């Protein structure tokens, strides 16, 4: 019996070591001049990273390992105020508390990932930085140690400074976020719904083109896949908030 238990423990240790070795490491770095509260959301129930949300002061970083097959998103929340129990709200990207169980309220910049493995037939990771839900903070995703295309994805430009008046979200006299045209006008041609629900019938608009011109390495609208979805295999990822230090 003792020998059998020892073998079982060794097998479990080997399994756990293999799982750890194959984990993808996300490094979240705050290059903004102010504190942010990153939110994380798992889209497929595999694992909650970072407890769903946490505080990240300027110049700080945190590493979050994710298992194979993980799918989810990261975003920055700004202007947050939480009590000791984690209750409170944020000016942008709010998710109802310090620990997110829902996605961030729009407008919000998103970094989206679907990792390979985990029973998938593909070992490729798919990732992008999306402005489809608007913009609140600049973000960049840089892969390291992987193979394949492994492109940089992100939005370095300060779109709040370039945001048209009809898309602006203003707080205390300052533009704190820039809505998507869908959120601002809620019409099929801007939301790619109804008669405009296919790539053939939903074309870039003046607003999505403005996003694309400013941030060519980010998703600008629902059918911007060809120039915005990136792939890499066996990589770790550096996610930088305010990549230019703005």
| pLDDT tens string 185-214 | 999 999 999 999 999 999 999 999 999 999
Integer Cα distance of 140 and 156 in angstroms: 7
Rounded to an integer, what distance in angstroms lies between the CA atom of residue 1 and that of residue 214? 66
Write the DSSP symbol of residue 171. E
pLDDT tens, residue by residue, 7-64: 333 333 333 434 444 799 999 999 999 999 999 999 999 999 999 999 999 999 999 9
Q: What is the mean pLDDT of the chain?
A: 89
Question: What digits encode the pLDDT tens for the residues 79-94?
Answer: 999 999 999 999 999 9
CB–CB of 129/136 below 8 Å? Answer: no
Residues 6+ apart with CB under 8 A from 136: 75, 76, 78, 92, 93, 107, 108, 109, 160, 176, 177, 178
- Cα 152 to its chain centre, rounded Å, is 14
Token duo for residue 155: 């939005």
Superfamily of domain 24-241: Thaumatin (2.60.110.10)
Q: Which tokens hold the place of 12?
A: 């479990």
């Amino acid at each position: 019996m003792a020998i059998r238990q020892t073998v079982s423990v060794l097998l479990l240790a080997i399994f756990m070591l293999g799982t750890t070795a194959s984990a993808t490491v996300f490094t979240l770095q705050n290059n903004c001049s102010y504190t942010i509260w990153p939110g994380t959301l798992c889209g497929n129930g595999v694992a909650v990273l970072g407890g769903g949300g946490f505080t990240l002061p300027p110049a700080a970083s945190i590493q979050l390992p994710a298992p194979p097959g993980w799918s989810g998103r990261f975003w920055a929340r700004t202007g947050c105020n939480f009590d000791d129990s984690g209750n409170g709200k944020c000016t942008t990207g709010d998710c109802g508390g310090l620990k997110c169980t829902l996605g961030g309220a729009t407008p919000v910049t998103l970094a989206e990932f679907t990792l390979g493995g985990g029973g998938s037939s593909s070992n490729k990771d798919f990732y992008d930085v999306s402005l489809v839900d608007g913009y609140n903070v600049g973000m960049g995703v840089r892969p390291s140690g992987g193979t394949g295309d492994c492109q940089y994805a992100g939005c370095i430009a300060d779109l709040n400074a370039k945001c048209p008046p009809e898309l602006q979200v203003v707080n205390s006299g300052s533009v704190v976020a820039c809505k998507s045209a869908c959120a601002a006008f809620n019409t099929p041609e801007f939301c790619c719904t109804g008669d405009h629900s296919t790539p053939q019938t939903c074309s870039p608009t003046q607003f999505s083109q403005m996003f694309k011109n400013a941030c060519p390495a980010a998703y600008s609208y629902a059918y911007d896949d060809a120039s915005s979805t990136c792939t890499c295999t066996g990589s770790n990822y550096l996610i930088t908030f305010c990549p230019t230090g703005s």
